[in-house]
Amino acid sequence: MLKGLIFDVDETLVYYEGYDHREWYKKWVMPALREHGIELDYETYRKTVTGELPRSYIERFGINHVEFWKIVDKVNMRYRRWLAERGKIRPFSDVNALAELKAMKLKLAAVSNASQECTEFVLNLFDLRKYFDVIYGKDYSYLDGVKPNPYLVNKALKTLGLKREEVLLVGDSSNDILAGKNAGIKTVNITRFGRIDGADYYVENLWELVELVKKMLGNQSP
């Protein structure tokens, strides 16, 4: 029986108006890295974020990867505050569906590749944190454990006290779907930005997710 849901956060629950990954790296991250004597090109950075390369890959350039990601995350936090002050971080219009899912007595988790601080910041910004029993951002003790690695998903499962077959993972990206698959749990692709191959279920928005959950729980009206 379905007892819980694990959600991605960015681009699943909230979005960033005008955000461009390459521009953000060049205008915000690179200057901060240079202050620490670090030079890293965008393409190498992008590959570590998409999972093509492990987060620890930058060690081969003589850079401590934990310190590197702490610098990046500090910049990301500053950037998110800057966006928030300008009203450029926004929740999707269907996030109220979380209240209905919570009312079904389901356990909810939020799992993000962003830092714990960045993740909690955007959830608190729109009073969404109250819906989640557990929230996990990237773990500095195991930075290669970000999605598509199942580490954070398994961590959430353990904290929720649920079995793999009792949970759905909901996300917008291939990394989300792969993380769910790698953890051995069913996945739901929310197709806000296109359909990701390999998911077990597809919904266009969170209200469709509510209907899917109702059907799975046997509560849908005939």
Average pLDDT over residues 11-40: 96
Classify the phi-psi angles of 194: left when phi > 0, otherwise alpha if psi is within -120 to 50, otherwise beta.
left
The residue with tokens 């499962």 is 157
Question: Residue 196 carries which DSSP code?
Answer: P
pLDDT given at position 81: 98
- Domain boundaries defined on the chain: 4-15+90-216, 21-85
pLDDT given at position 219: 60
> How would CATH label the architecture of 4-15+90-216?
3-Layer(aba) Sandwich (3.40)
Average pLDDT over residues 100-110: 97
Calculate what percentage of the chain has a pLDDT beyond 70.
98
pLDDT given at position 152: 98
Q: 219 or 6: whose pLDDT is higher?
A: 6
pLDDT given at position 177: 97
In tens, the pLDDT along 60-88 reads 999 999 999 999 999 999 999 999 999 99
Average pLDDT over residues 119-123: 98
Helices (H), the chain: 21-24, 30-35, 42-50, 65-85, 97-103, 116-125, 151-160, 174-183, 206-216
For residue 115, CA distances in Å to 22, 119, 120, 130, 137 come to 19, 6, 9, 19, 5
Average pLDDT over residues 38-56: 94
Average pLDDT over residues 150-161: 98
| pLDDT range class, residue 220, cuts 50, 70, 90 | very low
pLDDT given at position 221: 46
Distance, CA of 121 to CA of 210 (rounded, Å): 25
55 has pLDDT over 50 = yes
pLDDT given at position 222: 44
pLDDT given at position 182: 97
169 has pLDDT over 70 = yes
Average pLDDT over residues 96-112: 97
Average pLDDT over residues 161-187: 97
In tens, the pLDDT along 178-193 reads 999 999 999 999 999 9
